[in-house]
Amino acid sequence: MLTVQKKLSVILLGVASAFLVPVTTGLAPSAMAAPSVAGLPDFTDLVEKTGAAVVNIRTTEKAKVNQGNSTSEDEEMQEFFRRFFGVPIPPRQQQPAPRGRNKPDAEAEEEVPRGVGSGFIISADGYVMTNAHVVDGADEVYVTLTDKREFKAKIIGADKRTDVALVKIDGSNLPRLTVGDSNKIRVGEWVIAIGSPFGLDNTVTAGIVSAKARDTGEYLPLIQTDVAVNPGNSGGPLINMRGEVIGINSQIYSRSGGYMGISFAVPMDEAMRVSDQLRTSGKVTRGRIGVQIGEVTKDVAESLGLTRAQGALVQRVEAGGPAEKAGVEAGDVILKFNGVAVERSSDLPRVVGSTKPGTRSTLTVWRKGAMRDLNVMITELEPEKAAKPEVKKAKPEQVANTLGLVVSDLTPAQVKELKIDGGVLVESAENSSARAGLRAGDILLRLNNTDIKDARQFNALVAKLDPKKTALLLVRRGDSSQFVTIKPHVQ
């Protein structure tokens, strides 16, 4: 089970019966509102209906082991570190060969346990869905059904971005789960999880949906629940009261490594899109536009003239990429993609990623107080290119302005290398600029809505700033650009 290490208070969640206490009033019985009575759900029929389609998954790897040195306790401890803390399995310590022997004869290659997890069957012919981290690095995958039949499975494909994997076992007329619509889930509705926590097969836990589309910094928004999920539950189904699988249990939110009342599941709508591509081609193809983005904070939104904090702030535009060819610039705020609003920066990679490469799309961006539409050709996602080295310092001017900045002009070679039309190099930062995080080597590209051409022009603009208002600087550091708010220093 993947864990998200955070600092948070420990909250014990549970289910308690609700008791209605009669209240005596002066009103006639007919005038009193009838209380709403709702009993706790009974999951027995639901578990009988769905449990047979949930499977246990164990993985092995081939390794050279010292036959007299491996113990089950060692393997359990390795699994503990890998599942709870997300770290690689520590290498098994080998005992030195006895003296007088050149080779450790007891050392041989054999299958050793790697991990355990859960999964569920989505087709009668044996397609099984689980988490990518459950099968990651496995040489062999074994699937065990509730009737104790065990199959050696073939990995069809795995997608680490969504943590979804598809494996196949040879079978027919197998029990399967019905896929539900994860877009229709409601916060507060009851759900159950079935899996093999700590290797305990067919364990059922229940809870409610705590939040929809929870952004945890991953590629896609997750379903948050208070269902008890522990190592071994990874890859198991999250099931609604209609017996439909609506998510794949994938992560827990914890600062201790154990369950603390918050768990996350991959929504089935995205999981099915991924599995369909894995089944067809063994991989997932996503679109890209070649930008690095960040959040639009409230201060940045106000300084840019936006009515509220929304969109994705472009920090870097890949040289020669689709966005650069479309005219996107660092400092733009992408508000819409094909007419669909981008509320948070994390929305953009998801909608772009789900767009087929080769599609021409429309970006609506906010630049210098106005919106404009740009046409961009979506290309296939590929590994990011290496960042360029930091620029070299130029000869500084010696006068600090009211922002606490000493700046100098860029050389023609620097302008050409950075592929920019202007800007100034920060030689030193003090007072409010230093507190805002600026430092020597940063490149200043824009002050409020005015492009910076050279040091003289920049210092003249700074001199005219209202000391009572916050200034907005577009700052480039390395290959990334971001807005920084600074209040002028009062002398």
Closest to 487 in 3D by CA, of 298, 297, 295, 299? 299
Q: Say which of 118, 159, 163, 346 is annotated catalytic.
A: 163
Q: Residue 84 to residues 133, 231, 480: CA-CA distances in angstroms?
A: 12, 7, 34
**Is 489 designated active site?**
no
Cα–Cα distance, 162 to 275 (Å, whole number): 11
Which pair of structure tokens corresponds to residue 448?
A: 């409020």
Cα–Cα distance, 66 to 92 (Å, whole number): 9
- Tokens 């794949």 correspond to 248
List the beta strands (DSSP E) in 147-235: 150-159, 164-168, 178-179, 190-195, 203-214, 222-225
Give the amino acid at 108. Answer: A
Q: Do 349 and 360 touch, CB atoms closer than 8 A?
A: no
| Close Cβ partners of 241 (under 8 Å, ≥ 6 residues apart) | 41, 46, 189, 190, 191
Q: Do 264 and 218 touch, CB atoms closer than 8 A?
A: no
Cα–Cα distance, 283 to 186 (Å, whole number): 32
Q: Do 377 and 367 touch, CB atoms closer than 8 A?
A: no
Task: Reduce the DSSP state of residue 246 to 3 states and report it.
Answer: strand
Annotated binding site for substrate: 133, 163, 232-234
Q: Do 432 and 401 touch, CB atoms closer than 8 A?
A: no
Residue 489, number of CB atoms within 10 A of its CB: 17
**Is 74 designated active site?**
no
Cα–Cα distance, 169 to 155 (Å, whole number): 9
Closest to 95 in 3D by CA, of 76, 62, 74, 68? 68
Annotated binding site: 133, 163, 232-234
Give the amino acid at 29. Answer: P
DSSP sequence for 387-424: PPPPPPPPPPPS---TTSEEEEEPPHHHHHHHT-S--E
**Is 133 designated active site?**
yes
Cα–Cα distance, 192 to 212 (Å, whole number): 16
* Neighbour-count burial of 259, counting CB atoms closer than 10 A to its CB (0-12 exposed, 13-18 middle, 19+ buried): buried
Cα–Cα distance, 137 to 180 (Å, whole number): 30
Q: Say which of 118, 182, 196, 234 is annotated catalytic.
A: 234
Residue 127, number of CB atoms within 10 A of its CB: 20
Q: Which residues are catalytic?
A: 133, 163, 234
